Structure 1
Amino acid sequence: MSKVSYYTAEGLKKLRDELKQLKDIERPKASQAIAEARDKGDLSENAEYDAAKEAQGLLEMKISKLEETLSTARLIDESQLDTSKVLVLSKVKIKNQTNGMEMTYTLVAESEADLKTGKISVNSPIGKGLLGKSVGDVAEIKVPSGVMKFDIVEISR
């Protein structure tokens, strides 16, 4: 049984758009490439045909994985979320106890994570360490170099 993943409306739309692109545009292209390679003659010595078949197999695998992800995806109603503790889609301002540096992250599903925009996965070490914490709590997060301690400064949506 696959585990349920929670997404924002934007993240879910991206997944659906990618699946539509793969099915409606990439799949016909792959079939066309196989047909063109088949027309070039002897299939036993046709590397182009083998490559096209392999590309089609990889495409079908990607489509299958996306369909599975979408089947377990759930949309989060942000207005119903509690802001007293860190949950999925929480925007959390944390302060590193060691160097005093403050950072703000939004906890999102793994496929929506993008560090450049401040979105980290709830499955990442920092994400897991922050879940369930409240303002004023200290999150102790195990990292390869030891344990980092962060003060929870602010939680918002």
Structure 2
Amino acid sequence: MTKFPMTVEGAEKLRLELEQLKKVDRPRIVTAIAEAREHGDLKENAEYHAAREQQGFCEGRIQEIEGKLGNAQIIDISKMPAGDKVIFGSTVDILNLDTDQLQTYKIVGDDEADVKANMISVSSPIARALIGKEVGDVVLVRTPAGEVEYEIDAVRYC
């Protein structure tokens, strides 16, 4: 089975969500179903049907998270010796050579990506162009708007 890279923080976030679903949400939904059953006829009981639907979503999410954690290759970037090479989990400062705009991105797993938080997926065009390069290298990134040149300004393993 293929393993998918994930940061320690991403794995912890999923574990916390799984714990919330199993220990808080699941029991609450079971209680709601039991209370709705007490109201009688289940065919026309909207509370019962809503609770059952919630239960389905909750159980589906639990299975999804367990699958992701089971197939995760958790990489702790802080244990890597410091270097100038861009690798999974590193934080990279890149300079857009056309606009002189400096951008900072952390390269993370697909499920952890959040562009608003400057966390990009390892499979994104920018990350694929950066992986394996070093400080001072110029990379060409193909975007929907065209090709953009970036210079790697700094790399941090944190």
Tell me by how many angstroms 1:101 deviates: 0.9
1:105 partnered with 2:102: no
Cα offsets for 1:107-149 (capped at 9, x unmatched):
1223333344432221222222211222222221121111111
Contact 1:37/1:48 (CA < 8 Å) preserved in 2?
A: yes
Give the total of aligned pairs.
156
1:82 Cα offset (Å): 6.5
After superposition, what is the alpha-carbon deviation per residue over 1:13-60, rounded to whole angstroms, capped at 9, x for unaligned? Answer: 221111011001100111111111111111111122111111100110
TM-score relative to the length of structure 2: 0.88
Q: Which residue of 2 aligns with 1:122?
A: 122
CA–CA separation in structure 1 for the residues paired with 2:156 and 2:40: 63
Equivalent AA in structure 1 for residue 120 of structure 2: I
Mapping 1:77-156, distance limit 5 Å: 77-78=76-77, 79-80=79-80, 83-156=83-156
Q: Which residue of 1 aligns with 2:67?
A: 68
Paired-residue identity, %: 44
- The TM-score normalised by the length of structure 1 is 0.88
> Which stretches in structure 1 are left out of the alignment for 5+ residues?
none
Aligned equivalents of 1:51, 1:117: Cα separation in 2: 34
Deviates more, 1:143-152 or 1:57-66: 143-152
- Structure 2 gaps, min length 5: none
Q: RMSD of aligned C-alpha atoms?
A: 1.8
CA shift, 1:11, in A, is 2.5
| Residues in 1 aligned to 2:81 and 2:87: alpha-carbon distance in whole angstroms | 8
